[in-house]
Structure 1
Amino acid sequence: MNNIIGLVNGGGVYLADDQWTFVDDEVWVTKSRPMILPLDQWQKLDESGTGVRSIHGVWLGPDDDPAVLGPISGELPIIALQFPSFRDGRAYSQANLLRTRYGFKGDLRAIGDVLRDQLALMRHCGFTSFAIRADKCVSDALKGFDGYDMIYARSATTPEPLYRRYNRGHQLATPTEEER
């Protein structure tokens, strides 16, 4: 993966030196380099009790249940969620569940058919890094963070809906009895 964008201080930046190696087939897994492994391969790692699983991340396909990672999500450095097609939005739900229900705090990466138009919504669902499709320009994709930042509903990154944020802002601006 070389087209990686990450969020730094709320804005997107190109991550030229991304440490993660994406694995989509059976490979010899070692402690020498951090990898993002398919769920079934990652689950088999610690059967030997070597502890090698703790330095690797896992990726979930659209049919994988994020509840499998719920109890151990705090131990994972990265979870990648696959978008097999830009029309397939199941990873948005998986991301929201991992952030809100299971309390995952690590790097949440979007992989697969990831395009510029999806980035703003992905950020609100809790994604923090994005593997842009190989045939797309990273500098162009970075522009996907420029617009559509304010959303009305609550999200993984903004737990209060807009009307509550708006009302709270106006309540703070209303003069108190003493100020009148």
Structure 2
Amino acid sequence: MPKLILDGQAVEDSFRVLREDDAIPDTGDILLSWSRWLTDGIARQESGQKTGVWLASDELVETLNNSICQADVVAIEFPKFADGRGFSTAYLLRSRLGYQGQLRAIGDILLDQLFYLNRVGFNAFAIPDDKSLEKGLSLLNPIRVKYQASTDIPSPLYRQTALA
């Protein structure tokens, strides 16, 4: 099974990403595109099967609605490591839509990005086969003091110390 970091732990990844023309299996955990989620995913999930959504990097949060909050997993795809749109999408899912479930980074992610991905709301990372899971775990929290506010710490450091 593919390598996955979930909430700071190495776990087995049971989800499979289905593309637009892939048949939906009768069993197994799957991730569907947003358009397929709206037509097939919600009903499949209501029947008790784990079903999530994967979003392409060019998917706009403005086109989503609150039904995404019902998904077991929301995965945001990074087609190449230099494409930073997924960072914004994750932040907006957490802050605007209030998504509380598993938010997963998939695709071409660098281990050096895990800390920053975590700060904007990702709590799961599908580690590419050519990267070390152990190294990824060690890079999740390399910086202990965080100055800027984000989804993990809503107040900047100067406000935290002023309140203490």
Q: TM-score with structure 2 length normalisation? A: 0.89
Does the alignment pair 1:143 with 2:138?
A: yes
1:2 maps to a residue whose letter is P
Tell me which residue corresponds to 1:103: 98
Answer yes or no: is the 8 Å Cα contact 1:26–1:41 preserved in 2: no
CA–CA distance in structure 1, aligned partners of residues 91 and 112 of structure 2: 19
Does the alignment pair 1:51 with 2:47?
A: no
Q: What 5-or-longer segments of structure 2 have no aligned partner?
A: none
Q: Select between 24-33 and 98-107 the one with higher mean Cα deviation.
A: 24-33
CA–CA distance in structure 1, aligned partners of residues 105 and 88 of structure 2: 12
1:79 CA drift (Å) = 0.4
Answer yes or no: is the 8 Å Cα contact 1:5–1:14 preserved in 2: yes
Answer yes or no: is the 8 Å Cα contact 1:57–1:76 preserved in 2: yes
SS at match of 1:155: coil
1:53 CA drift (Å) = 4.7
Answer yes or no: is the 8 Å Cα contact 1:34–1:56 preserved in 2: yes
SS at match of 1:164: helix
Tell me which residue corresponds to 1:164: 159
Tell me which residue corresponds to 1:5: 5
CA–CA distance in structure 2, aligned partners of residues 30 and 24 of structure 1: 12
Tell me which residue corresponds to 2:29: 34
Q: Deviations over 1:11-61 (max 9, x none)?
A: x21112x22122235222145212011223323316xxx821554111111
1:168 CA drift (Å) = 1.2
Answer yes or no: is the 8 Å Cα contact 1:120–1:149 preserved in 2: no
SS at match of 1:96: helix
1:86 CA drift (Å) = 1.2
Tell me which residue corresponds to 1:80: 75
1:51 maps to a residue whose letter is A
Report the RMSD for the aligned CA atoms in angstroms.
1.9
Tell me which residue corresponds to 1:114: 109
Q: TM-score with structure 1 length normalisation? A: 0.81
Tell me which residue corresponds to 2:86: 91
SS at match of 1:24: coil
**Highest CA radius of gyration, 1 or 2?**
1
Tell me which residue corresponds to 1:173: none
- In the comparison of the two structures, how many residue pairs are matched? 161
Q: Percent same amino acid at aligned positions?
A: 32
1:76 CA drift (Å) = 1.2
Answer yes or no: is the 8 Å Cα contact 1:61–1:81 preserved in 2: yes
SS at match of 2:31: strand
Answer yes or no: is the 8 Å Cα contact 1:14–1:138 preserved in 2: yes
Q: Select between 71-80 and 89-98 the one with higher mean Cα deviation.
A: 71-80
Answer yes or no: is the 8 Å Cα contact 2:53–2:68 preserved in 1: no
SS at match of 2:53: strand
Q: Select between 68-77 and 100-109 the one with higher mean Cα deviation.
A: 68-77
